[in-house]
Chains A and B, each alone.
Chain A
Amino acid sequence: MTIESTPKNALLLQFQRIIWYVYVGYLCIACLLLVTRTELGVKLSYWGVIFVLIATVGQLFFMANDFKRSGSRHFMLLSYALILVILVSTALGAWII
């Protein structure tokens, strides 16, 4: 089993760093607006949740690219399979339950 970071997970790491600053800044603004009880705060919180979920799935695209760069074609395909599994299973879960 390999434990590798740089350069294998370089794209993922860079993505996580950027996304952290973006959503912390975004959530700070949303929380400030929520404290002042403005409608915009609720809207920003709503889109903040969507943003975080998209970012989580986005991580998998970057992981797939990292696998591609390191020559792990199987794991690149498995990363895309995981995206598909998350989307299909949650859609089924939301539909069935």
Chain B
Amino acid sequence: MCGALAGLLGGYMGLGGGVIMVPYMTIVLGMDIKDAVPVSMIAIVVGTLSASSAYIKKDMVDTELVIIISIFMVIGSVIGSLLNAVISSAALQIIFSVVVLYAGIMMITKKDNNKPPVLRGKSQGIFILAAAISLVTGVFAALVGLGGGIFIIPILYLLFGLSIAAARGTSALTIGFAAAAAAIVYFFKGQLDVTAAAPVMLGVAVGGLAGGKMGTVARPVVVKVIFLLIMLYIAYKLGMAGFKNL
């Protein structure tokens, strides 16, 4: 049930669904957060695998950006997990809560671009910028314990000028690779409870496919409002956690 709900929202929004899964598993099912995060990671992989096919079918995925962002996000995630032991996350959490809040407001106020990105042509500069931002996003996402979709969508939408639909589609495929890298580490360290993961993965697979299909026909205004609510929630949680850790 938890997986299906997370898959549905994640697929619809182009996010991983960890925002739903981790709180549900810890609060409702009483799982330890250290057990819930690896299960959430492998479920994100399944969810993105299911949801992204609907976006690809509808031409809503920029596969070139996916490759560039994924390479640097994976490297950034690993650097972030290594820095996690030496850097205090309190200040980062507060800074990021402000950044997420700002991005949320910008997304709701910016007019959606309906032109396909192909019209703007290719430039090397945009790929270099994508690489640099993805690396930083990977580091910060790993430091604050998030999948990255909540950061990737605003970047694609605000900086690269993708439509909200293309940004969600591109994000849906991208975060799966970064989550897979994290899930492999958890799996080999023996931190992934496979018996808990199987039903969540099944739910996410079904929910993700349905969410992805719904997401391709979603109205941009509805998506933006839901996204803003999620971003406000994340900003609040990050900010509160940051102030507690100070």
A residues adjacent to B (C-beta < 8 A) = 1-5, 8-9, 12-13, 16-17, 19-20, 23-24, 27-28, 30-31, 34, 41-42, 44-46, 48-50, 52-53, 55-57, 59-60, 63, 66-67, 72, 75, 78-79, 81-82, 85-86, 89-90, 92-94, 96-97
A2 partner, pick from B60, B64, B197, beta carbons under 8 A: B64
B118 touches A13 (CB 8 A): no
Q: Given A1-B160, A86-B74, does the pair A94, B185 have CB atoms closer than 8 Å?
A: yes
C-beta contact mask, B188-230 vs A, less than 8 Å → 1, else 0?
1100101101110110011001000000000000000000000
**CB-defined contacts of A66 to chain B, threshold 8 Å:** 63
C-beta contact mask, B63-104 vs A, less than 8 Å → 1, else 0?
111111011001101100110000000000000000000000
A16 touches B118 (CB 8 A): no
Query: A48 CA to B187 CA in the complex, in Å?
Result: 12
C-beta contact mask, B101-129 vs A, less than 8 Å → 1, else 0?
00000000000000011101110001000
| Chain B interface residue bracket vs A | 35 or more
B residues adjacent to A (C-beta < 8 A) = 42, 45-46, 49-50, 52-53, 56-68, 70-71, 74-75, 77-78, 81-82, 116-118, 120-122, 126, 160, 162, 166, 176-177, 180-181, 183-185, 187-189, 192, 194-195, 197-199, 201-202, 205-206, 209
**CB-defined contacts of B56 to chain A, threshold 8 Å:** 5, 9, 12-13, 16
**CB-defined contacts of B120 to chain A, threshold 8 Å:** 1
Query: A48 CA to B125 CA in the complex, in Å?
Result: 41
A72 touches B64 (CB 8 A): yes
CB-based A-B contact count at 8 angstroms:
165
User: Smallest CB–CB gap between A24 and chain B, Å?
Assistant: 5
Give me 17 other A-B pairs in contact (C-beta within 8 A), A24-B202, A30-B202, A56-B49 excluded. Answer: A1-B120, A2-B62, A3-B116, A20-B50, A31-B202, A34-B199, A48-B197, A50-B187, A52-B46, A56-B45, A75-B67, A79-B67, A82-B177, A86-B177, A86-B184, A90-B181, A97-B185
**CB-defined contacts of A82 to chain B, threshold 8 Å:** 67, 70-71, 74, 177
B194 touches A13 (CB 8 A): no
B185 partner, pick from A13, A57, A90, beta carbons under 8 A: A90
User: Smallest CB–CB gap between A81 and chain B, Å?
Assistant: 6
B75 touches A89 (CB 8 A): yes
A48 touches B50 (CB 8 A): no
Interface of A is mostly: helix
**CB-defined contacts of B206 to chain A, threshold 8 Å:** 24
User: Which of A16, A17, A52, A93 is packed against the most chain B CB atoms within 10 Å?
Assistant: A93
Q: Given A31-B202, A94-B184, does the pair A63, B53 have CB atoms closer than 8 Å?
A: no
B45 touches A53 (CB 8 A): yes
Query: A32 CA to B181 CA in the complex, in Å?
Result: 28
A46 touches B201 (CB 8 A): no
**CB-defined contacts of B121 to chain A, threshold 8 Å:** 1
Query: A67 CA to B63 CA in the complex, in Å?
Result: 9
